[in-house]
Structure 1
Amino acid sequence: MSTPQAPAALRVALLGCGVVGTQVVRILLEHSEELTARVGTRLELAGIAVRDTSIKRDPIVPAHLLTEDAEQLVQSVDLVVEVMGGIEPARTLITRALESSATVITANKALLAQHGPELYETADRVGVDLSFEAAVAGAIPIIRPIRDSLAGDKIKRVLGIVNGTTNYVLDQMTKDGLSLETAVKDAQELGYAEADPTADVEGHDAAAKAAILASLAFHTRVSLKDVACEGITSVTADDVAWASKSGHVIKLLAICEQTAGGVSARVHPALVPLGHPLSTVGGAFNAVFVEAENAGPLMFYGQGAGGAPTASAVMGDLVSAARNRLSGAKGAGESTYADLEILDPGEATTRYQVRLSVADKPGVLARIADVFAANGVSIETVTQAPRADKHGAALLVVTTHAGTEAALAQTVRQVADLDVIEEVMSVLRVEGS
């Protein structure tokens, strides 16, 4: 029986030619021979769709391949790489490509977090791959390990530093004592943060990635609206200093968990113990810490953003998808067989560290402890010291044992109402211990 002859080339369309798209072009052109050997046939760059072909671009980008007719392009190729970002027109173009039987590779986490299910269904119906390794944590291979390598295991928890901008900002606040505003400005000057850093500092970017990770890890559809989200805008230099004093570092974490009740996904700043592997992740780097039933703890670390790192993940998907196309195979698609309940954010289990300014007099701690006990929240440690800046006041730092988010939040609200409390100075969750 003869083996079908491979086509002379697989035609590739690129949607978007910004920082990442330019690097994809560079790799495709500069490593053409190697890629041909790895795939089994040549990957031919057939066209590059951009909004404006007149804009001056990197010399590596062939001007004759630029087009503003993206819709026509995606319907005339074998593989489509989408790195334009945003919801529209990316959603429409990817749908058109899939319906034309083109394999799609995307780095668009926002699109997948909001419209992933409909795109997965279209890909399954047509019988082509929809790959998205670059959508989470840049160059770090995390999608395939969760979806494929750990397919025979049970993932219990995923903790991720998945936004390089906020990690850089918090790292600068920790190392140099900078304010949040100064650290963000520093990140913007270095190109780590956009002119409008809202999506990063408010946690929206990390929340989209959390939705994707939770969906993969727990075989349940988790969308962006299911992710409880809190950014780093309330974190102060004082919070960072006290974190260090208590043996922690503050990180913006994406946390995905499966419990007996269902699945939860959340993003918020958290105190990470200095002994935990995530505590050492500095600068604009990303890391994902996976806890599996049989494999145990696994750490994935590397560059989470940038043109070349993200293009590396895109190219990994492109080579894999091209091989599948040649062999007539199809990669793993969406897995939703578990269909677990999405838990209310108040049902998530965490620990709190609460910093309070209180009246420096007898009986204060007992009254606070009574409120914690009434809500079923157990206190792990209490640290007390006089406030040097305020006569008659003391600083109280209370760290709890694990409890539900709802019980812990209610406890803090009731403590704040006590007449011996001058101010609730900070409330931070403790994760990774």
Structure 2
Amino acid sequence: MSKDQKAAPLNIAVAGLGTVGAGVLKLLQAQADLIEQRCGRRINVVAVSARSKGKDRGIDLSAVRWYEDPVAMAADPAVDLVVELIGGSEGPARDTVATAIETGKHVVTANKALLAVHGTDIARKAEAKGLTVAFEAAVAGGIPIIKGLREGLAGNRVSEIHGILNGTCNYILTEMRTTGRDFADVLADAQALGYAEADPTFDVDGIDAAHKLAVLASVAFGTPVDFASVHIEGIRQVGAIDFDYADQLGFCVKLLGIARRTDTGVEQRVHPCMVPKSAPIAAVDGVFNAVVAQADFADRVLFVGRGAGAGPTASAVVADLIDIARGRSTPTFGVPADQLGAATPSPMESRRGSYYVRLMVLDRPGVIADIAAAMRDQNVSMEQFLQRGHSPGEAVPVVLTTHDTEEAAMQRALATIGALDCVVEAPRMIRIEQF
């Protein structure tokens, strides 16, 4: 091809015109010349599909074909690539991606749930046909974490990743810390501001972060995606009082996703953590996301940015489109899908570390001795003990931290403590991570 000849346009179809889908179309229109310069060809949107054709999305759709059915759109022979922005692990999203691959089309998706549940199978089928499945937008929005792990750290063995993977939870925890309000109040505000859904379950119960962690772990470790092995806890049980104690102890409370190689296999877990205030990730507040990767040659690498929103997520989608338009191809999860090495899941019970425990106990003689005995019987060693004031005969908060111990021993100790007649509420426990 001569300098004066242009490569054929890349014709794409977009399934789903919500916040992100509309953002993608706006970005492609606003940056059309820049994108053509960077990938050497035009990227043309030739078809779209969404639930409502008449909705005003602030974009002109008069020149594109409209499909009621995204699966039928995925089979359109005039389409080279399908962008799936429907969401969900099953139903139309899964069928649209499957049809795109079956009919020889590349796929770009922001669907972490689909990848967490079916990612390995999707990768195998696409790679068998020489197709690319790209998903930078599926994890941490505008942060280029997939490319960072898969390409930027390609010469490294990654031993651990941890991060703030859900902006809604990070916003709620930040507001609880800075305002002293309880979870329910801050959640209501987050919903009013559009940071949390009307049904916030996926966010506040840790499921969204777990989907993203499962995908990150596959890319980082070269293993099949294993969402079923992720231990998941949310933030509903974190109280305003916990932030006061965390501050006294030199910690900050974050919902983290953590995946690391251990002597017993690969552990994957999402739960509230207390992290030292000195840790870089402790300073990441509000709706921002952050991911830390520990690599053997690059050492520790920190990625920070906006984890959601039309602009950042659309930016990640378009970055994938440009890669494919230029002919850059990388195995979906960093190594060919048929070479992903199975890893033994490391059970949560084998986690070893320290713990923060908050109790509500009756203020009477012998209570602390009973608690200490329950911990001693499980070989759990107490490090610090905090009690605010005294109120004989009444319930008072007591907080303790432990030295490193096994999760299984800690859980047995908490079960015994929770059964004591002097303990009036279920014990609250937050794991301490010394990053």
Report the TM-score, using the length of structure 1 for normalisation.
0.92
| Residues 1:411 and 2:410 are matched in the alignment | no
Which region of structure 1 is more displaced relative to structure 2, 69-78 or 178-187?
A: 69-78
Whichever residue aligns with residue 387 of structure 1, its letter is: H
Whichever residue aligns with residue 195 of structure 2, its letter is: Y
Q: In 1, distance between residues paired with 2:332 and 2:56?
A: 38
Q: In 2, distance between residues paired with 1:70 and 1:365?
A: 62
Provide the secondary structure at the position in 2 that maps to 1:398: strand
| 1:13 corresponding residue in structure 2 | 13
Residue 370 of structure 1: CA displacement?
Answer: 3.6
Q: In 1, distance between residues paired with 2:54 and 2:387?
A: 65
Residue 430 of structure 1: CA displacement?
Answer: 1.0
Contact 2:252 2:275 in 1 (8 A): yes
Residue 395 of structure 1: CA displacement?
Answer: 4.3
Q: In 2, distance between residues paired with 1:48 and 1:11?
A: 11
Contact 2:164 2:254 in 1 (8 A): yes
Distance 1:175 1:68, change over 3 A: same
Q: Which of 257, 262, 265 is the equivalent residue of 1:259?
A: 262
Which region of structure 1 is more displaced relative to structure 2, 61-70 or 201-210?
A: 61-70
Q: In 1, distance between residues paired with 2:288 and 2:131?
A: 33
Contact 1:321 1:331 in 2 (8 A): no
For 1:26-65, what aligned pairs fall within 5 Å after superposition? 26-62=26-62, 64-65=64-65
Provide the secondary structure at the position in 2 that maps to 1:282: coil
Q: Which of 146, 149, 153 is the equivalent residue of 1:150?
A: 153
Residue 243 of structure 1: CA displacement?
Answer: 1.8
Residue 61 of structure 1: CA displacement?
Answer: 4.1
| 2:357 corresponding residue in structure 1 | 354
Contact 2:267 2:345 in 1 (8 A): yes
| 1:204 corresponding residue in structure 2 | 207
Report the TM-score, using the length of structure 2 for normalisation.
0.92
Q: What CA deviation, in whole Å up to 9, does each residue of 1:336-386 have, x standing for no partner? A: 543210122212233211123445566554443343233232332223443
Whichever residue aligns with residue 405 of structure 1, its letter is: E
Whichever residue aligns with residue 252 of structure 1, its letter is: L
Q: Structure 2, unaligned stretches of length 5 or more?
A: none
Provide the secondary structure at the position in 1 that maps to 2:91: coil
Contact 1:137 1:162 in 2 (8 A): yes
Distance 1:419 1:27, change over 3 A: closer
For 1:104-183, what aligned pairs fall within 5 Å after superposition? 104-183=107-186
Residue 332 of structure 1: CA displacement?
Answer: 2.4
Which region of structure 1 is more displaced relative to structure 2, 302-311 or 248-257?
A: 248-257
Which region of structure 1 is more displaced relative to structure 2, 121-130 or 400-409?
A: 400-409
Q: Which of 399, 424, 429 is the equivalent residue of 1:427?
A: 429
Q: In 1, distance between residues paired with 2:354 and 2:306?
A: 29
Residue 180 of structure 1: CA displacement?
Answer: 0.9
| 2:383 corresponding residue in structure 1 | 380
Residue 123 of structure 1: CA displacement?
Answer: 0.8
| 1:241 corresponding residue in structure 2 | 244
| Residues 1:74 and 2:74 are matched in the alignment | yes
| 1:340 corresponding residue in structure 2 | 343
Contact 2:11 2:44 in 1 (8 A): yes
Residue 269 of structure 1: CA displacement?
Answer: 1.1
Residue 425 of structure 1: CA displacement?
Answer: 4.6
Q: In 2, distance between residues paired with 1:312 and 1:209?
A: 18
